[in-house]
Structure formats: C-alpha cells, structure tokens
Structure 1
Amino acid sequence: MPKNLFGRSLIIMVAPVLLSQSILSFIFIDRHVELVTRRICYLVAGDIAYVVAELDMTPGGDNERTYRLARQTMQLDVNYKPGAELPAPGEVRFPILERVLRTELTRVVGLPVEIDTMSDPDEVRMSFDLGDGILNVIVPVKRITTSTNELLFFWMVGLAILLLTVAILFLRNQIRPIVRLTEAAEAFGKGQRADDFKPSGATEVRRAAAAFIAMRQRIERHLRQRTEMLAGISHDLRTPLTRMKLRLAMMGDGEDEDELAQEVNEVERMIEEFLAFARGQEGEQPDDVDIADLVEEVVEEANAGARGTPVETDMLGSLTVKLRRQAIKRCLTNLVDNAQRHAAAVKVSITASNRWIEIVVDDDGPGIPEKLREEAFRPFVRLNEARTPADGGVGLGLAIARDVARSHGGDIFLEPSPMGGLRARIRLPV
C-alpha cells in the first residue's frame, strides 16, 4: 500500500471505478457483443438461405441474375464451383463471430459450411456443400460486425480517464494544505519561522492549521516571557553582586576576602551561564551555514585556547544547512570544551546522509557510565562533585548543547568512543 495520503486516497477513488468497469465489461459488453452479433449473423444467414433457395429453383440454369441481385442488394459475392469439395478448417480469428455465425448458418441454411476469416482481413468467406458442388459466399466484415462495441468501450474508458483526471486534480488541491501544514510544523520544529503559512483547504484542515498556529504562538510567547523574566532576575542579582565586589575591593587583601571573592565570581558565572541556557537562541534567525567551516572555526579556537589539549578534525566537503549559526557554535564549543577538560586527545568528524548531518566529538578521557549519561544532560548536574569550580563549569554545558540541538529538530547522544573515552554525537536534520 502507498504510505502517503495522496496515494491511498487515489486507490480509494480508482479501485471502485476499475472494479465497476471490469464488472460492466464482463457482464454487459460480453452479452451485448454476442447478442448483436447473433442478430446480424441471423440476417446474413437468411440472405444466404434465400440465394440457395433461388439456385435450387433453377438447377443447371443461368444464375447470373441471382448472383447480381445478391451482390447489389445483399452485399453477397456468390459463385458456384461444381464438383468441388469443402476446404479444410483453418485458423480462427474472431472466436465469438465465427462461433455465432456457424450456429446461425447451420440452423437457417442447413448445409455443411466452412468459414474462412484469415485469407482477407476485410472479408469473411463461407463455403457451403450443395452435394454436387461448393457454393462460395463472400461477405464484407463490416456487413456482419458492428462498431457500437468499440464506441461503447471508447466512451467507457475515455470517460473514466477524464473523471479520474479531474478527481486527481481536485484531490491534489485538497492534500496541498495538509502538505503545507506538515512543512510548517517541520520548519517550526527545526527552529525556523513560517510566517507565510495560512490556514486553507477543507474545514478540518483549517481547524488543524489554526490549532497549530495557536500552539506556535503560545510556545513563542512562553519563550519570550521566560527570557524577559530571567533577564530581569539577572539584572536584580547583578546589582547586589556588584555591591559585594565593591566592598570586597575596599576591604583589602586577606585569605577570607579571597575566598569570598571566589564565591562571588562563582555566583556571577552561574548567573551568566543560566541566563545563556534560558535565553537559548532567542533573536537569532536561521540562515544557510557551511557546517564544515563552522566546525573548523570551533576547532581553531579550541586549539588556540588555554587548555592545550589538541583537537583533530576529519571533515567532508562543503555541507550547507539552514540553522542558527551562533547557537550551533555554542553547542559544539561546549562539547569540545568538555572533551578537552577531561581528555588528552580530541577528534571532531562529520558524517552526512540524505536526512541527517552528524557532528561527532570523540575523546580518550574517562568517559561517562551508561547509567549516568542521561543524567549528565540535566541542568546544574556535575557528575564529578569533587572537582572545584575552577576545574569545570556549573553543569549547564550539555544541557545548553542538547537544548540547541533539539531546537533545530535534532538531538545529542552520548556513546562509547573508539578512542576509549566518550563520544558526543550531534544529529541535525538536512
């Protein structure tokens, strides 16, 4: 069965038409052809019987007048061959015609007969055994056939094709709004805008489209409210943090002051990362981005950073995808930074298929146990609680990376790496 709605709807429309046409052809046309052929053959057999009767009335006489009248008024070309014998049966070209014609000739004329339809495509030749010779009768094919069968078949098939063509055109117009709704939903799932989408089509499709637009507006409103609220929280928290940093600067140097300053800096960094996580990709519009160039840029910045862990690349050619460049860069930077923090070697590679582009970050570090991999994506979760804030982040790197990937219609997966450590695989739709 077809998987798409258009194919299935087309079968629902075509199957009854084909079934009804087949039944009509089998029952009506077959009976119609045989009935009309029988009546025509009966008339031809009657004419031939009349000619035979005329010949019997003047045995051995001049029958040219009878032959001429048969040719002029009955379309029968008649000739008599004394002493001849019936020809051998030949091949059959018109099974129904020959069967019905033989039946009617035997019933009406009452003489042994052989029928030849192969010698001439435009004629039917009949040979009758008169006892002392053979009476040959030639009849044009159009004299014992009818064109109504072809006309009926033409109109039946032609009308069916015409109606199906019109129905297919209307069906495509009905399915097109569903396709547009699907494309708009997919674009929204990839983080792209579809402002030109408008409800159209049947009432049910319009209701589904209106529900999608309302849902999209609620989600966008929720994201704006979240960003505005967190921006306000950030502003309110930065003010007392600034006052605390000012007082620490006035207190002078000391062990307690240094520890307090570190705590204040840690709180400030947590606020910045949390705001970045909550803000997501707000305000950035999708654009055509060369993934290979973006990965090269991230790798160059990572190699130029202070961590010192080398990052290798395994690239394909140019791969252009529509996405938010800065958001994907932040996502990839977080993964590479995590790998550099815990490993001695890092490798970034790209693979592509018809549906997906995958960016893979491999390292040779300690990795993450399988039961804790999903836990690692939770905000503010640090799997190594013993490490100090200076050694790592606040537990938002993977959460931000997954949020970015999912906002583009993709995802991030953590797996064992062939290098012995952890593999982070970013999957993005093409």
Structure 2
Amino acid sequence: MTGSTARGGAPLDRLALAVKRVLPKNLFARALIIIVAPVLLSQSILSYIFIDRHWELVTRRICYIVAGDIAYIVAELDLSPGGDNSRIYQLARNAMQLTISFEPKADLPPPTEIRFPILERVLRTELTKVVGLPVVIDTLSSPDNVLMSFDLGDGVLHVSVPLKRITTTTNELLFFWMVGLSVLLLTVAILFLRNQIRPIVRLTEAAEAFGKGQKADDFKPSGAREVRRAAAAFIAMRQRIERHLRQRTEMLAGISHDLRTPLTRMKLRLAMMGDGEDQEELTRDVVEVERMIEEFLAFARGQEGEQPAETDIAALIAEVAEDANAGHRTTPVEAPALAPLVVTLRRQAVKRCLVNLIDNAQRHAGHVRVSLAASARWVEMIVDDDGPGIPDDRREDAFRPFVRLDDARNPVDAGVGLGLAIARDVARSHGGDIFLEQSPLGGLRARIRLPV
C-alpha cells in the first residue's frame, strides 16, 4: 500500500514542480494571479455557458419566426397556383424582408459547405418542422444573405433572407462587456497591488542597504498594518544594532588607550636596559603583544565610521599589488592590467580585506596572482598562490578568530589568527563573502565576492 501511495504521489509531485517552474518569482505577479485568475476563470466559464445557451435559444426563436413567414408565403402560393404572385412577392419583401423567386420545373441545387454550423442546424430543424418541405440552405453564395431553396413539386422556391435577421448581436455586446470588465478589473488590481507591494519593496531595499553598511535614514513605515509592524520591527532592530556597535566602539577605544599606556612604559624601560639576550626576547614579546592588540582592535572595531563611496576596483587592486611588491615580503604579486570597474563600497575596508589575503598568500607561497571577474550581480576579486594551500576540512577553521593554521609551518612569521576573520567580516558587511578553493597555480584561491 505504501508503494502504491508513493506511485500515486509521484505525478502530483511532478505537477507541483511544473507549476512552480511556470509561476512567476516575484510577489507582485503571484498576488495578481491569485486575485485575477479565479475571477477571470469563473467569468469565462459562466460567460461561455450563458453565451452558448443564450445564443442557441435566441437563434432558435428567430429561425422559428422566419420559418413561419416562409410557411405563410408557401401557403399563399398554394392558393393561387400558376397565377400572378407579384403581390405576394412584394408583401414578403416589404413586410418580412424575404426576397422570393420561383423556378418552375427545376430541381433542388446541390448542398454547399457549412459556414455557420449551429445556425444552419437550428434553421434546418425549424424549417423542416414548420414548413415541412425539402430544403437546401446556402450560406456561401452571399456574405450578407442566407439562401434557401424549397422543393414545391412543380418547381423550386428560392428564398433569400438577410443574415442579420436570423442572427443576434447580443453575444458580441456581451463579449465586449466581459472583455471590458476584465480589463477594468486587471487595471484596478494592478494599481491596488502596486501600492500594496511598494512598502514591502522599500522595506527590502532598506534591509539590503543596512546589511551592506549603507545608510537608510529616509525609510519610514508605510502600507498595510502588517507591513508597518514589520517595518517598525526592522527600524527598532537597526537602532539596537547601531547602539550596540557604537557602545562597542567606545568601549574598545577606552581599552585601546588603557593597553597602549603600559606597553609604552614597557618599551621605554626595555630601551633603557642594556643589550642582552633577555632584553631582546622581552622586546619581541612586547612587539608581539602590541601587534596582537592592534589586530584585535581592528577586528572588533570593524568598519565603524566609513561610508560607502564609488570605487574603481581595478585601480584598488593595482594599488594593493604595488604596495605588496614594495613591502618587506619578497614574494612577487602579479596583477595584470584590468578594465575600470566602479562599485559602491567602503574603500579602506575592502582594501584591508584584500591586503590581508595577499599578505597571507605571500607568507606561504612563491608567487601570487590577483585577478578580477564581474557578472550582472557580483564582482569577484581573486587571489591565487602556488603555496601548500589549506586542506578542505580546515578551510572554514581558517576564518575563525585566533585560529592559526601556520604555527607549525612558520612559527616566526605566524599571524595572530585574525587576518582571514577580518577579511570575511569586511566581505559579509558588504553583503558578500569569501570562499577558499583549490587554485589553478596549485595552492590556495581566495575569492572575495561582493554585490554590484
């Protein structure tokens, strides 16, 4: 039973996936479909049923009246066979809109193709029932008239009736009303939904801007009550986060001052001491502690205070590569000429992110290459090296603060474990991220992905 249930559910799952692929992705289009589709579907079904039944009923009654007029003319002709029937023909033309002619000793013409299936079927039924004579209906010979030929025995009676007399225009009017109402409904729904969706779009834009570190002070709650509550909750959350960051920055500023003062005194006392092995070891320890404090404060402070601005990433990469080649490390950094690419970001923060990655690559590799890739949504700064790389299972650990994977390989030049953590913090504060992969050069590839 379980197997049959699973087999029965598979078509439903495929249907659900097909519907999901066809449905639009944005909220506006989905809401519009939810509102308009049921109304249009029900209106179409009801209109089809009504029009079909109404049109056939009205056509049947009109054809019945025409058949009665023709039966009256046939009866009048039977009363005066072979006489002068011009008066009857004139009466039929003026009062009944029937054009009549008689062809003696003639046979019925051959049937023609059907032009109006329902009309011809209903008309033939009513003529057979009311007139009771063999009849051939021709709707092709004249675009504006219906020709009918009756076998009277001694000849053929030809009757021409205007097409507009046996058809009704109420269906066209009803169709145009239906289309007009549907267009009106669609217009009202679009205007209404656009006003309802706009506050949600503004809330999304404000959240994205705040996530990238940009200001969104002009955002105010608007729209429906639920959207206003969500907007108010976002504003309160943003204020709490900004207050927390401001308090953290102020606290770290005090810690920085308190830590620098004793370190400065220790450096002065070491400078006044004589040369010796103990003095050199203590100096290295003080320098190491000072460097750790600087990196820790930089990590904790983040990008506080810097505002995003339009920046040429190609020029930024060239500047960082030039500084790296001019620095104290001997590993060359290759940065080919790149086309200008302007993106809004915090320049100093992204520069520091790139500097940390390049410095990390120079520390372990013999060659470093920096490149740039861009798409419609993302821009990527790529740092490749030919060093030993990082095992797959340790790459996420490399981003954890104070985790140092290079102590055993290079204990003298090992960092304090904050370079990659700071770099990822910068990338994520811009709405992007950093990914570590295998490099085509054989070492490690670091990709900084930022939104355009």
C-alpha distance 285-64 of structure 1, shift in aligned 2 (>3 A): same
CA distances 1:280-339 after superposition (whole Å, capped 9, x unpaired): 111111111111111011001111112121111245422221110000000000111111
Structure 1 SS opposite 2:406: coil
Of residues 146, 149, 167, the one that matches 2:189 is 167
Of residues 204, 208, 212, the one that matches 1:190 is 212
Structure 1 SS opposite 2:335: strand
- The letter of the residue matching 2:425 is D
- The letter of the residue matching 2:52 is D
Counterpart residue number, 1:410: 432
After superposition, where does 1:171-250 map in structure 2 within 5 Å?
171-250=193-272
Answer whether contact 1:315 1:349 (CA < 8 A) is retained.
no
C-alpha distance 388-65 of structure 1, shift in aligned 2 (>3 A): closer
**Superposed displacement of residue 390, structure 1:** 5.4
Structure 2 SS opposite 1:134: strand
Answer whether contact 1:116 1:124 (CA < 8 A) is retained.
yes
Counterpart residue number, 2:391: 369
**Superposed displacement of residue 348, structure 1:** 0.8
Of residues 22, 29, 33, the one that matches 1:11 is 33
- Distance in 2 (alpha carbons) for counterparts of 1:422 and 1:144: 85
- Distance in 2 (alpha carbons) for counterparts of 1:342 and 1:387: 9
Answer whether contact 1:177 1:200 (CA < 8 A) is retained.
yes
Q: Which moved more, 1:89-98 or 1:311-320?
A: 311-320
**Superposed displacement of residue 250, structure 1:** 3.1
Of residues 285, 300, 308, the one that matches 1:278 is 300
1:91 partnered with 2:108: no
After superposition, where does 1:113-192 map in structure 2 within 5 Å?
113-192=135-214
- Distance in 1 (alpha carbons) for counterparts of 2:337 and 2:384: 14
**Superposed displacement of residue 385, structure 1:** 2.6
C-alpha distance 85-13 of structure 1, shift in aligned 2 (>3 A): same
Of residues 131, 135, 143, the one that matches 1:109 is 131
Of residues 413, 417, 431, the one that matches 1:391 is 413
- The letter of the residue matching 2:300 is A
Answer whether contact 1:316 1:351 (CA < 8 A) is retained.
no
Q: Which moved more, 1:291-300 or 1:251-260?
A: 251-260
**Superposed displacement of residue 142, structure 1:** 1.3
Q: Which moved more, 1:333-342 or 1:323-332?
A: 333-342
Answer whether contact 1:266 1:389 (CA < 8 A) is retained.
no
- Distance in 1 (alpha carbons) for counterparts of 2:104 and 2:391: 109
TM-score, normalised relative to structure 1: 0.96
Counterpart residue number, 2:11: none
Counterpart residue number, 1:251: 273
1:30 partnered with 2:52: yes
Answer whether contact 2:138 2:147 (CA < 8 A) is retained.
yes
C-alpha distance 387-147 of structure 1, shift in aligned 2 (>3 A): closer
Of residues 388, 397, 400, the one that matches 1:378 is 400
Structure 1 SS opposite 2:319: helix
- Distance in 2 (alpha carbons) for counterparts of 1:275 and 1:347: 29
- The letter of the residue matching 1:126 is M
Structure 2 SS opposite 1:78: strand
Q: Which segments of structure 1 move beyond 4 Å, counting only runs of 4 or more?
A: 386-390
**Percent of pairs with identical residues:** 80
Counterpart residue number, 1:77: 99
C-alpha distance 389-230 of structure 1, shift in aligned 2 (>3 A): farther
TM-score, normalised relative to structure 2: 0.92
CA distances 1:191-245 after superposition (whole Å, capped 9, x unpaired): 2222222211111111111111211221121111111111110111112222222
- Distance in 2 (alpha carbons) for counterparts of 1:307 and 1:186: 39
State the Cα RMSD in Å.
1.6
- Distance in 1 (alpha carbons) for counterparts of 2:442 and 2:160: 95
Give the unaligned 5+ runs of structure 1: none
Structure 2 SS opposite 1:181: helix
CA distances 1:27-55 after superposition (whole Å, capped 9, x unpaired): 21111001100111111111111111111
Aligned residues: 430
